[in-house]
Amino acid sequence: MKHSRQGKKDKTDGDDLRRKLFPYKMLSPFFVLTGIFVAVPIILMIAISFSSMGLDLQWEFAGWSNYKRVLADSSIPIITLRTVLFVVICTVLSVLGSIFIALMTTYYLDIAYKRENAGLLFRIIWLIPSLTPSVVYVFIWRFVFGSNTQALINGVLDKLGIAPVTWLANYPMQILIFICCLSSASGSVILFASAIRQIPDNIIQAARVDGASNFYIMRKIIMPYLRWPITQKTLWSVLSFFCTYEIIMLLTAGGPGGKTTTFAYYIYKNAFELHKFGLGSALSVLLVAMSALIGLVVLRVTKVEKQLYPPRMDW
């Protein structure tokens, strides 16, 4: 009898252990891939930052010399300030743009006015910028803002008898922010649209019965439901804009006069154009530190710990 009870206890303990280990088993492929493609590159980057590695790929220990060169670089403060402003402005505009488009198409067209086909069509069209390859995307905007009269805007100005404008020379950062925000906002509409679709219909119906306007429903019901998607989109935008260099390289190559050179593009230029891999890695370590710091600030401002609490109905 004693053996039988002991066997049942052992079986129960084994079942409990398997249940506790099951989530980790399911996440094990993620842990492995994260280790290979995230942790290992970061370790290598930190190691290379303490070397004088160049085009010959020879690792020679250089101590803190690369970091001293970064701190002594007179262009770093202005590049850092420009990068922070670029990230903040692009993040704010892309998040607000995504929310606005999602509300207009998903709530007003789909739910309030029952024009689901129109809302769906608009969202599909709006996705085009985020689905277009970067090379094609930038080529289109270079045609739009080209300096000669064969370009779209200057061609129209020429027909109206107005002198052409060198848009990319006069307004490089404004144009860069515009096309980056357009692409980022385009890719996030589905996130906000799906979140709005998850709101129970009876809540909106009850608000309408009580006489709530569409604007009140949007402000008091829909926006609180979007807190988590907004946090996710904000954090993702901050990290992605910190690492933006491809569009800059294709559109302005950091010019004119370095006006569109951000920290990420400065890293690309040093590492892959000047072949200063040690210096580029040191700059990358600082970029990771900056993006992590800003990311923590975003999590703090959005109070993400409160969003992770279980709903009161489950308490």
Q: Which range has the worst mean pLDDT, 18-32, 87-101, 169-183?
A: 18-32
Phi, psi dihedral angles at 51 (to 5 degrees): -125, 175
**For 36-61, how does the pLDDT look when each residue is reduced to its tens digit (9 = 90+)?**
888 888 888 889 999 988 888 888 88
The pLDDT score that the predictor gives to residue 251 is 92
The pLDDT score that the predictor gives to residue 314 is 42
The pLDDT score that the predictor gives to residue 7 is 55
Identity of the highest mean pLDDT range in 146-155, 257-266, 302-311: 257-266
How far is residue 95's CA from residue 92's CA, in Å, rounded to a whole number? 5
Residue 313 has pLDDT above 50, yes or no: no
Closest CA to 225 of 107, 114, 97, 122: 107
**For residue 245, what are the contacts with CB-CB under 8 A and spacing of at least 6?**
262, 264, 265, 267, 268
Q: Which range has the worst mean pLDDT, 14-23, 195-204, 239-248?
A: 14-23
Angle between helices 116-126 and 76-102 (to 10 degrees): 160
Provide mean pLDDT across the span 225-242: 88
**For 148-198, how does the pLDDT look when each residue is reduced to its tens digit (9 = 90+)?**
888 889 999 988 888 889 999 999 999 999 999 988 888 788 888 888 888
Residue 1 has pLDDT above 80, yes or no: no
Where does 75-314 sit in CATH, by number? 1.10.3720.10
Residue 200 has pLDDT above 90, yes or no: no
Residue 101 has pLDDT above 60, yes or no: yes
How many whole angstroms from its chain centre is CA 228? Answer: 15
Provide mean pLDDT across the span 27-34: 86
How far is residue 256's CA from residue 172's CA, in Å, rounded to a whole number? 8
How many whole angstroms from its chain centre is CA 74? Answer: 29
Global pTM value: 0.85
The pLDDT score that the predictor gives to residue 310 is 58
- DSSP, collapsed to helix, strand or coil, labels residue 255 as coil
